[in-house]
Amino acid sequence: MESPWLQQSFFQPEWAKPLWNNVKEKELWNEQGMPSAVLLAGLFFVVLINLNAYSRTVTGGKLPTVHSYLPFIGSVIEYHKNSHGLLSKCQDKYGSAFNMRVLWGTVTVLCDELGIKNTFRDKHKSLNTYYAHDVAHKGIGLVKNAAHLAVDRLFPIYAKHFASMDGMTAVAVAYNREAFSLTTALAKDLGDSTKVYPLREVFSKKIYFASCKSIFGERYPIENYSDYLVVDENFISVMTPIPFFGGKAKSARDRLKKSVEEYIAEVGKGSTLEGASEAMNEIYAAVKEQGLSPQDEAGIVLAGIWAVNSNTGNTLNSLFSFLLSDPKSFMMVRNEMDKVIESKYDGKIESLLAAPPTSLSSTDFPLLESAVKETLRMIVLSLSPRQAHKETTITYGDGSTVNIAKGQFIMLSLGGAHRGGSFVDGRKFSLTRYVATDTDGTDRRVPPFWGFGEGAHLCKGRYFALHEIKLFFILTAWYFDMALVDSNGNPVRELPPFDPGNPGAIRPPKDLSVRISRRKSPVGKV
């Protein structure tokens, strides 16, 4: 049965009703859909209200424009509340490409597979992501004009260390160690008892700890997690340059930045950070070359911390939400894991942890890999704002083309494309959807997957991200028995609606918890 959270209603204030008079109410997912959060994605709203570039004439060809009675606010408010709901309605009414007026300009939205693929592939090399990265660095790190440094200088270093199996070996080894010690500490703490923890406490918080320690070293102040969480959950407010708006989140951002600045002051020796990974040291050395102030250095490092952690934490929380609310799927993935550990590692998880990162690949863990990709497919909303630095055309739909003028912004509505279009039962979580090989070894056709983007801006941390999430699943499922419960401790049989108020990816409700105890069988795990 389809989860009710897929059927939530749109944000429809009374004053906005006339906008939608002619739009028939349909199921939310019927129509369609920087680094990390699906970072660039989520930034779109912020890009919109930051756009002074919008005073230029930009059109997007002869596309229909979303009707709005509020020309200066356009669709911004609805987008902020429920980006996917708004884009779905627009796609329903206007088709798979349309323009949306926002404040003083227009953005072209593409919703179908061909338009999305062609925008990602950008064969005329006309589109860039600088504006969005400037907005992110300014909002998260309070650093101005950092996009060229980030995109041209730092991202290739991220790619070298986090988007290749060999390149990420050192960080993965450290990550395995940290994740293992956090898991065994929880197991010891539990003893023979059963406890209930908020979902985020068991998953996203721990992945933050393990990832930050493995990248930044033992002296990274992980106690800044509570501020990080406030910033991450309110990143739209943090990036919105309106005075008195998002005060609590902005204060958390200021404290978080201060803690990063203090960390750098403590471990920084010339252009190295003592105790940090080789990857972080290479990134830091490139930042150091710029001769920035300590505050700006900290701001750039902080933007990176957010990029590294935001999506992984949310994906891990969502993965466990999907799997624990469907015990059959959970058992299938756990059985796959048990078999691999028994047959290849003599029943010793420590041996798997000591193996190179390739040991977690889809060859041995096809179901787990598919579960992570399927989770991303289900939660991704819209992403990848692009700006044209020269005029270009993009083919979409049934072969139509749209002209994109120089300066024009494009946004991809991935939510619907990922769950509608060619997807069979696209609104349901299907564990095996991305299993690429049948049990007899023959290749299967898997549907498109844009959880990490595509083309030149494909995620530069994707291998590490997959490793982090898969390893965390393995450790947790090996050591613990778990059940998803609500705030009263009652078992959750159907997932409640996810929170749509983040334009990058939906998030599980905050009151979901996990009831956890040490795994009884096979015995003697700890």
> What does the binding site for ligand HEM look like in residue numbers (CB under 6 A)?
35-36, 38, 40, 129, 151, 155, 158, 162, 307-308, 311-312, 315, 376, 383-384, 451-453, 457, 459-461, 464-465
Please name the residue ranges forming H helices in 217-293: 225-233, 235-239, 247-267, 278-288
Q: How far is CA 509 from the centre of its chain?
A: 16
Q: At its nearest, how many Å lie between ligand HEM and the CB of residue 163? A: 8
Q: What are phi and psi of 128, to 5 degrees?
A: -140, 170
Q: Which is nearer to ligand HEM, 232 or 519 (CB)?
A: 232
Structural contact between residues 409 and 51, judged by C-beta atoms closer than 8 angstroms: yes
Structural contact between residues 418 and 434, judged by C-beta atoms closer than 8 angstroms: no
Q: At its nearest, how many Å lie between ligand HEM and the CB of residue 4? A: 25
Q: Which is nearer to ligand HEM, 186 or 465 (CB)?
A: 465
Q: Which is nearer to ligand HEM, 246 or 281 (CB)?
A: 281
Nearest alpha-carbon partner for 96 in 31, 21, 26: 31
Q: At its nearest, how many Å lie between ligand HEM and the CB of residue 59? A: 23
Q: Is 516 exposed, middle or buried (0-12, 13-18, 19+ CB in 10 A)?
A: buried
Nearest alpha-carbon partner for 298 in 272, 265, 252, 274: 265
* Beta bridge mates, 101: 106
Element (H, E) at 492: none
Structure tokens at 41: 């994605």
Q: Which is nearer to ligand HEM, 19 or 333 (CB)?
A: 333
Query: What does the alpha-carbon distance between residue 301 and residue 287 come to, in Å, rounded to a whole number?
Result: 9
- Is residue 212 marked as binding? no
Q: Which is nearer to ligand HEM, 131 or 158 (CB)?
A: 158
Q: What are phi and psi of 14, to 5 degrees?
A: -55, -45
Structure tokens at 218: 């033992």
Q: Which residues contact 513 (CB under 8 A, 6 or more apart)?
A: 196, 197, 198, 199, 484, 485, 486, 487, 489
**DSSP letter (8 states) at residue 33:** -
CB-nearest residue to ligand HEM: 461
Q: Which is nearer to ligand HEM, 117 or 460 (CB)?
A: 460
Q: Which is nearer to ligand HEM, 114 or 341 (CB)?
A: 114
Q: From the annotation, which residues make up the binding site for heme? A: 459
Q: Which residues are annotated as a binding site?
A: 459
